[in-house]
Amino acid sequence: MLTIQNLKSKIAESPYQAYVYSYPHKTAYRPLTPPVHLPELWAQQDRQALFLYIHIPFCEMRCGFCNLFTTVSHNEDFMSQYVRTLQRQAQRMKAVLGDASFARFAIGGGTPTQLPIQHLETILNIAESTMGAKLLEIPISVEVSPETATEDKLKLLRSHAVDRVSIGVQSFIDSEVLATQRRQSTTQVEATLTRIKEMGFPTLNIDLIYGLPGQTVNTWLQSIQATLRFQPEEIYLYPLYVRSLTGLGRTDREWDDIRLACYREGRSLLLSEGYTQVSMRMFRRLEEGQGSNLSPSSPVYCCQADGMIGLGCGARSYTNTLHYSNEYAVGAKGISEILQAYIQTADESFEYAHYGFQLNAEEQRRRYILLSLLSDEGLNCASYRQQFGSEVYADFPEFSELLALNLAIKDEDILQLTEFGIERSDTIGAWLFSEKVQELMQDYELK
């Protein structure tokens, strides 16, 4: 329940209790009984501006902070089996969707470029030839790592119209990187970034993390300055979250909380360098002539309202009324078991959702609010009214307390977070979770 009392107490705590970027959280998903027949589900959805996401669960190493669904226990034969299964799933999903258009496409992970180049090309062909995504006309993003972003793989991505490359650097200080159990070197990172820039990708995104073991505010700013030398169009500043079953989560270390100071200094530096803040984590610099593949005739994706098709073992799919996926795990054993089950999935089983979360009218409203409010666009009350036929303050009267606590301002019909509210985004996001979602998350047993 949204109450001023629990919001006040949450704001008084550390801003870094849990990472909030979507709703509902995957730990709120449960087995669906009976399974949901996807042709019937998607027949009721608008399928003209979908997001296609393909998940590759392979990495060359497991970072100490990582709780993503990814594995380092693989060989080329296993990757081949995975790609063949993904092809089978795609064929079924294309038949399920029928006439559908894709407005965006992303390959994430894991590390997609961990795949051998022939398999990476197959993934791109699955998107274009099997699913029907028009790669030359829509924004396409691929995640890479310093070790796997080789020249031949980058050329392949560029030849298939990939216009955004995202790379997790995390830090330009070798000792900080080593403390997160990564094996990259700053020299290697700089060579990779130079290679990416030379390839001419319209958008380069670099991820950095603050709050790392041994990090200071000064070394954090050194990493940002090093990042700026490569003039990335986007920079994500992520706070470190130490979570269960991760490498850092298994240590007994006491964490020195310099994250808020790092965030504020980093934000100030990027704003002074001409970046605009899109969300708590995302900063963007737009230059004249910069753009994506988006053509005037292409559909435009709206994350609050449009659906997502997720292919691959760790991918999630979104409709208005149901979010679904495979089960989720962080530990190596749990991930291995889920991957084996995915590879052994019969073709016809891909036509059903077995695990997910049903969104009733209230949950749909909460999701719309959360995704709107946590971005720079803010919550457009008129759009909310058009979408749901009701007033946001009537549905959630406690919302006025965001204004009272200086977490948000209202300009005409737009509710936007203040500077103070933006740095408390994860706190505000968690405050918006329903009691049902909170209970499911608390009861979830992480594998």
CB-side neighbour CA atoms (13 Å) of 420? 10
Coil/strand/helix, residue 208:
strand
Is a pLDDT exceeding 90 seen at residue 85? yes
Task: Tell me which CATH code domain 4-10+360-443 carries.
Answer: 1.10.10.920
pTM of the model: 0.93
Is a pLDDT exceeding 70 seen at residue 318? yes
Tell me which of 3.40.50.11290, 3.90.25.10, 3.20.20.70, 3.40.50.2300 is the CATH number of domain 31-284: 3.20.20.70
* Highest-scoring range by mean pLDDT, 15-29, 247-261, 354-368: 354-368
Is a pLDDT exceeding 90 seen at residue 289? no
DSSP calls for 138-207: S-EEEEE-TTT--HHHHHHHHHTT--EEEEEEE-S-HHHHHHTT----HHHHHHHHHHHHHHT-SEEEEE
Q: At what angle do helices 76-97 and 332-343 cross, to 10 degrees?
A: 60
* Domain spans, the chain: 4-10+360-443, 31-284
Average pLDDT of every residue of the chain: 90
In the structure, what pLDDT confidence band is assigned to residue 255 with cuts at 50, 70 and 90? very low
Position 288 scores a pLDDT of 53
CA dist., res. 379 & res. 413, Å (int): 8
In the structure, what pLDDT confidence band is assigned to residue 156 with cuts at 50, 70 and 90? very high
Cα angle 405-272-286, degrees, rounded to a multiple of 5: 100
Position 249 scores a pLDDT of 42
Residue 24: is the preceding peptide bond cis (ω within 30°)? Answer: yes
Structural contact between residues 97 and 104, judged by C-beta atoms closer than 8 angstroms: no
Structural contact between residues 86 and 124, judged by C-beta atoms closer than 8 angstroms: no
Q: Is 132 exposed, middle or buried (0-12, 13-18, 19+ CB in 10 A)?
A: middle
Position 231 scores a pLDDT of 97
CA dist., res. 194 & res. 114, Å (int): 19
Q: Which amino acid is at 111?
A: T
